[in-house]
Chains A and B, each alone.
Chain A
Amino acid sequence: MDADLAFDALADPVRREILAVLAERDECSAGELSDAVQRVGRTAVSSHLRILRTAGLIAERRTGRFRYYSVDATGPAQDVIRFLQELFQGSLADAKAAAEADAPDARAM
Chain B
Amino acid sequence: MAGLALSAEQRIEAPPSAVFDLVGAGAGAGWLFDTVCDRLAPGAAVALRAPLGGPPVELLGRIARIRRPGRIDIHLDVPWRGTLRLLFDPEGSGTRVRVVADLDEDGLRWLMRRRGYLVREPTDRRDHLLGLLTSKSGPGSVFAAATANLAAMAVDEVNADGGIRGRTLRLVVGDDGTNPEWGAAEARRLVQGGCRTIVAGTTSATYARVSDALRGDGVLLVHAVMNEGGQGGELRIRLGERPRQQLRAAAGPVMRAAGGRRWFLAGNDYVWPRAVHASARRVVDEHRGSVVGEAFAPLGTRDFTPVVETVLASGADVVLSSFVGADLVAFERQCHAMGLRERARTLALTLDEPTRERIGDVAAAGMRGIAGYFEQLPDTANAEFLRRYRRTFGAFAPPVGSISESVYEAVHLYAAAARRAGEDEPRTVARELRSSRAEFPRGTVTVSGPETVTQQLYLAEATAGGFAVTPS
Asked if A and B bind, the verdict is: yes
Partner-B contacts on A (CB < 8 A): 3-4, 6-8, 10-11, 13, 16, 19-20, 23-24, 76-77, 79-81, 83-85, 87-100, 102-103, 106-107, 109
Q: How many residues of B contact A (CB 8 A)?
A: 44
A-B contact pairs, 17 of them (CB 8 A): A7-B112, A10-B4, A16-B3, A83-B115, A89-B8, A91-B32, A92-B10, A94-B29, A96-B12, A96-B97, A98-B30, A99-B29, A99-B95, A102-B22, A103-B18, A107-B14, A109-B93
Residue interface bits B80-122, CB-to-A below 8 A is 1, else 0: 0000000000000111010101000100110110010111101
**B52 — which chain A residues lie within 8 A by C-beta?**
87
- Considering the complex, give the chain A residue whose CB is closest to the CB of B93: A109
Number of A-B contacts (CB under 8 A): 133
**B232 — which chain A residues lie within 8 A by C-beta?**
none
**A107 — which chain B residues lie within 8 A by C-beta?**
13-14
Across the interface, do B108 and A88 meet the contact criterion of CB distance under 8 Å?
Answer: no
Query: Cα distance A90–B30 when bound, in Å?
Result: 8
Across the interface, do A92 and B27 meet the contact criterion of CB distance under 8 Å?
Answer: no
B302-361 interface (Cβ within 8 A of A): none
Q: Is the interface of A mostly helix, strand, loop or mixed?
A: helix
Across the interface, do B8 and A92 meet the contact criterion of CB distance under 8 Å?
Answer: yes
Across the interface, do A92 and B99 meet the contact criterion of CB distance under 8 Å?
Answer: yes
**B2 — which chain A residues lie within 8 A by C-beta?**
13, 16
B1-39 interface (Cβ within 8 A of A): 2-15, 18-19, 22, 27-33
Across the interface, do B30 and A94 meet the contact criterion of CB distance under 8 Å?
Answer: yes
**A109 — which chain B residues lie within 8 A by C-beta?**
13, 93
**Closest CB pairs A-B (n = 6):** A94-B30, A98-B29, A13-B2, A92-B10, A91-B30, A3-B117
A5 CB to closest chain B CB (Å) equals 10
**A88 — which chain B residues lie within 8 A by C-beta?**
6-8, 32, 99, 101
Across the interface, do A106 and B8 meet the contact criterion of CB distance under 8 Å?
Answer: no
